[in-house]
Amino acid sequence: MLTKILGSALLAASVMITGQAIAAEKSLTLCIYDPLGTRGDAYGYAKDYVLKLPTFGLKKPVELKVYTNEAVVAEDFKAGVCDGAAMSNLRARQFNNFTGSLDALGAVPSYKHLNTVLQALARPEMAKHMINNDFEVVGMIPLGAAYILVTDRSINTLAKAAGKKIAVLDFDKSQIKMVQRIGAQPVSVDLSTLAGKFNNHQVDIMAGPAVIFKPLELFKGMTDASGNVKGAVIRFPLIQVTAALVVHRSKFDDPAVNQKLREYVLTQIDKAYKYIDNSEKEIPAKYWMDVPTADQPGYVKLMREARIDMTKDGTYDKQMMSLLKKVRCKYEPTNFECALNDE
């Protein structure tokens, strides 16, 4: 599940700094989101890595604190209760809009593009962009492309989505704007209510990565009482979902240690990609549905226009949008957008 990736990568990287916990006046607190609490994968992996992983030079012990609500993790981190925290990048955007804009609509078309971006962000010369006042991002890891999930596979075009109820995370304004742009009705959800509303058909459409399909039993929202498949997972990535490890610079105050953490997290992303790949392959073929080739330009155009508008209003960071466009044009230099200067 999603927390397993967080546990094995981001959390692994974060807790490895505890190795030289000597002569410390006070321990640092790392807050972990795990819906299963101390019984979950994230917490278990974090404890293991405290014992296993080498130090990067921070001479303070780290106390692990587990939460079953991601929103509370973010609030406690903001309030200084947590010295560091692992959370979804969508949630972490409030602490660094540059890195938080990596999850922009349609900005990273594939894992090939994402891998290139993550490699770039881990370079020492990018360290200045990881910093926002007292906040610093010291690791990012992929969680998988977010696909559109529908309860009725007849909703197979943008036009047919108009008027439908679409689940949007209550803290992400970009999702609300996108839904309103296509004339649909946004329905506020959080991670604890998302599956219930989709599976009970309180919403017609949602988006999410493959890693949540099985744990949240989303197939229930796609089948009727007789087990016949009515809905679908539309194989067209909206965004690349990532996770971020964020710390308070006043507590994690050694730039060399923080850079080593970023470089270490980068070495773990292949494990994340393997888990994502397995999760996508585990979704039975009967649930997948492809976007007709003729309709794909419409999706790309809609997301591009929304992305440009949300960059203008400050939702997305201009420098990150420029970087992501450069990566897209590296792989598709003949694409029409590469000749334009509006992003």
Per domain, the residue ranges of the chain are 2-142+242-280, 146-239+286-339
Q: How confident is the model at residue 10 (pLDDT cuts 50, 70, 90)?
A: very low
pLDDT the model gives residue 201: 95
Q: Looking at domain 146-239+286-339, what is its CATH homologous superfamily?
A: Bacterial extracellular solute-binding protein, family 7 (3.40.190.170)
* Token digits of residue 203: 């919403």
When mean pLDDT is compared over 167-171, 173-177, 183-187, the highest value belongs to 183-187
User: pLDDT tens digits for 229-258?
Assistant: 999 999 999 999 998 999 999 999 989 989
pLDDT the model gives residue 288: 97
Q: Which residue has the higher pLDDT, 333 or 6?
A: 333
pLDDT the model gives residue 45: 57
CATH of span 2-142+242-280: 3.40.190
Q: How confident is the model at residue 173 (pLDDT cuts 50, 70, 90)?
A: confident
Residue 183 predicted with pLDDT over 70: yes
pLDDT the model gives residue 33: 82
Is-contact 237 299, C-beta < 8 A?
Answer: no
Residue 304 predicted with pLDDT over 90: yes
Average pLDDT over residues 193-211: 94
Residues 6+ apart with CB under 8 A from 132: 95, 96, 97, 98
pLDDT the model gives residue 123: 97
User: What is the enclosing helix (H) or strand (E) of 210?
Assistant: none
* Token digits of residue 326: 């450069």
Integer Cα distance of 189 and 192 in angstroms: 8
Residue 57 predicted with pLDDT over 80: no
Residue 152 predicted with pLDDT over 60: yes
- Three-class SS state of 278: helix
Across 110-124, 142-156, 165-179, least confident range: 165-179
β partners of residue 140: 244
Average pLDDT over residues 103-118: 96
Share of residues in the chain with pLDDT > 70 (%): 88
Integer Cα distance of 107 and 326 in angstroms: 10
pLDDT the model gives residue 342: 82
Q: Which residue has the higher pLDDT, 37 or 19?
A: 37
Residue 205 predicted with pLDDT over 90: yes
User: What is the enclosing helix (H) or strand (E) of 166?
Assistant: strand 165-169
* Token digits of residue 155: 């909703």
Helix residue ranges per DSSP H, 80-165? 89-92, 97-100, 111-121, 158-161
pLDDT the model gives residue 42: 61
pLDDT the model gives residue 24: 40
* CA-closest candidate to residue 269, choices 153, 114, 152, 58: 114
pTM: 0.87
Do 2-142+242-280 and 146-239+286-339 share a fold?
yes
Residue 2 predicted with pLDDT over 50: no
pLDDT the model gives residue 312: 94
pLDDT the model gives residue 176: 86
Average pLDDT over residues 51-55: 45
pLDDT the model gives residue 59: 72
